Amino acid sequence: MRPASFFARLAFARARVLACVFIVCGAIAAPASAYASTVEAFAIPSAALGRPLDVSVYRPDGAPPAAGWPVLYLLHGLHGCFRDWASLGGVQKTLDRLIASGRIKPMLVVMPDGANSWYVDSAAIGGPGNYQTAMLDDLPNAIERLLPAQRERGGRAIAGLSMGGFGALRLALTRPDRYVAVASLSGAIWQNAPSAGLDRGAIRDADGGYFRRVDAATVVSGIDAPPAGDHFGAAFGVPFDARRFNAANVFTLLAQQLRAGAELPAIYLTVGDHDSHDLWRGSIAFYETLMADGVDVDFRVTGGDHVWALWRQSIEDALVFVDSKFNDAQPGKIAVGLPTPKFAGAAATIK
């Protein structure tokens, strides 16, 4: 792992901020072509945040099916915003091309603003706000009320890059009854902080102790604990609360859902082999955990760094994966509610 301050040093952080500030709000029409999609920016009410939630929505060309379009919720990374995927990721052109070629079916893509929240609830500890609740409740409720969107699990998926990859996994594993598929692109994934250091808020120093040489020909990896730095902000408390992180972490959530016998969403992981923040470690660790638990997973290590040049490519395979998991929209299949599912935390109200 590189020295402290981590994501704050990313070369593209400034570009993200500029994109969020200077792109004019409103509908963005696709370039002149036979396929006329739109990307519209608007705000939805959020009781969880106590303020509106900014959202960009990709709407495909043509009329929706009777049951509505399937929906992909697509999350941004740290220091990003709800416009990143459209402005920096070129996702509108990618979707248009894949739909026009028949590689994927038309879908809505909802890109919310997650601030630097790590997609957890943190208002009670002075963090960015209750973004988990906003993403799980306020956002889909608004989208399914305002747009021709499918309202059942088979028509919802979630994905994201970097912090958003972590967020997509943890939201999908918090409510596996909500999503049929989840994709993490260069996810900011770490294993739980070791129990021996919890009382002192232990997180890993710059780069020590990950690899261990058993003998001249054998190297093994260790625990990929969360790194030091200011990248978590106040999302897990100030100072960083390792117990709170562990409780919210994707490894913990996975274990809870497996114990509950939950039906997990289909899982897709991809990461660059030269990720400058060594995030391949966390993706590999999560892949290994899934394999050890007998959970089916699609995993790709591709050539590239922690940059948009990689994500503009890797989103294509992620979209194809997600599309392959969506149920075909059939007339009369919009669900107004779901039976109580089997998953950890199933006492929660399904909205």
Reduced 3-state DSSP string for 271-289: EECCCCCCCHHHHHHHHHH
In whole angstroms, give the CA distance from residue 44 to residue 3: 38
**How far is residue 30's CA from residue 34's CA, in Å, rounded to a whole number?**
10
Strands 156-161 and 211-215, how do they pair? unpaired
The residue among 245, 250, 240, 233 whose CA lies nearest residue 127 is 233
Q: Say whether pLDDT at 202 is over 60.
A: no
What pLDDT is attached to residue 209? Answer: 74
User: Pick the residue with more confidence: 38 or 31?
Assistant: 38
Q: Where are the alpha helices (DSSP H) in the chain?
A: 13-22, 84-87, 91-100, 131-133, 139-146, 163-174, 242-248, 250-260, 280-292, 308-325
Helix (H) / strand (E) element for 189: namely none
As a whole number of angstroms, the distance between CA 147 and CA 200 comes to: 48
Mean pLDDT on 280-284: 97
The answer to whether 39 and 92 have CB atoms below 8 angstroms apart is yes
**According to the CATH classification, is domain 6-325 in 3.10.150.10?**
no
Confidence of residue 19 (pLDDT cuts 50, 70, 90): low
Calpha distance 351→348 (Å, rounded): 9
pLDDT digits (tens, 9 = 90+) for 41-97: 999 999 999 999 999 999 999 999 999 999 999 999 999 999 999 999 999 999 999
Tell me the residue type at 247: A
Average pLDDT over residues 182-209: 76
**Mean pLDDT calculated for residue range 149-161:** 98
pLDDT at residue 9 greater than cutoff 50: no
Which pLDDT value is given to residue 33? 52
Contact 240, 227 (CB under 8 A): no
* Tens digit of each residue's pLDDT (9 = 90 or more) over 164-180: 999 999 999 999 999 99
pLDDT of 20 reads 61
CA distances from 51 to 26, 47, 82, 84 (A): 19, 7, 15, 21
Over residues 98-143, the pLDDT tens digits come to 999 999 999 999 999 999 999 999 999 999 999 999 999 999 999 9
Query: Could you tell me which residues are beta bridge partners of residue 182?
Result: 158, 267
> Which of 20-24, 196-200, 311-315 is least confident?
20-24
Structure tokens given for 275: 């990720």
pLDDT-based confidence at 229, cuts 50/70/90?
confident
- Residue 5: pLDDT band (50, 70, 90) is very low
Q: Is 84 left (phi over 0), alpha (psi -120 to 50) or beta?
A: alpha
Question: Which residues does 88 contact at the CB level (< 8 Å), separation at least 6?
Answer: 12, 15, 16, 19, 308
pLDDT score recorded for residue 144: 97
Please report where in the chains the tokens 């399904």 appear, as a residue: 350
Question: How many residues comprise the chain?
Answer: 351
Whether residue 290 is predicted with pLDDT greater than 80 in this model: the reply is: yes
Q: What is the mean pLDDT of residues 199-211?
A: 60
At 17, is the pLDDT very low, low, confident or very high (cuts 50, 70, 90)?
A: very low
Q: What is the pLDDT of residues 292-347, one digit of tens each?
A: 999 999 999 999 999 999 999 999 999 999 999 999 543 333 333 334 456 677 54
Residue 349 has pLDDT above 60, yes or no: no
**pLDDT beyond 50 at 8:** no
